Structure 1
């Protein structure tokens, strides 16, 4: 049986955060995303936004090189710190798997700082 080539894993996370803990949540999220992109070669992109007019509604767009990279991310110390540290802040979480059609990005001034 022929091996299939690895393909990117794409997920969208829809989160509702306890508004009273939103600032603390954002601090955990920022630290986690910055560490993941800097330290994990298989994390290709992590982008977080809030819904305009409803800042407790967070959306995260995630792109990993392949399934192995995604599974490694879930075991990374910085991700576990985020997951455990924010567990009581998250009112709901919905993960949506997606298939890539076109993925392109411009660098905002070069590669992420080391």
Structure 2
């Protein structure tokens, strides 16, 4: 069963461009470099320009734990901290994948 993380970020006003550079780099590196990461989406809120939602799918909890130990995550986590006003992290099990494949 796949492990899903959803992270809701409220970014400090005027800091979104900096945050997006950091999170986009982290997302791309996660999918490219981590065999256990199959999806890492960065979603912009249509009504709140300072809000971002991440949707990440890992093979299992161990793959997510490995993600937390990567260099690209450490760089993102440290550099983005002063840009974030609030953050909510939710963990899920993927129980039904509604893809056409």
Counterpart CA distance in 2 for 1:92 and 1:105 is 31
Residue aligned with 1:30, SS: helix
User: Could you report, residue by residue, the CA deviation over 1:8-60 in whole angstroms, capped at 9, with x for unpaired residues?
Assistant: 11111111001211100000011111111100000110101111121211111
Runs of 4+ in 1 over 3 A off after TM superposition: none
Q: Does 1:100 align with 2:91?
A: no
Residue aligned with 1:94, SS: strand
- Tell me which structure has the larger Cα radius of gyration: 1
**TM-score, length basis structure 2:** 0.92
Tell me how large the CA RMSD over aligned residues is.
Answer: 1.6
Distance 1:95-1:58 versus aligned 2 partners, 3 A rule: same
Aligned residue number for residue 66 of structure 2: 72
Moved more, 96-105 or 41-50: 96-105
Q: Does 1:33 align with 2:31?
A: no
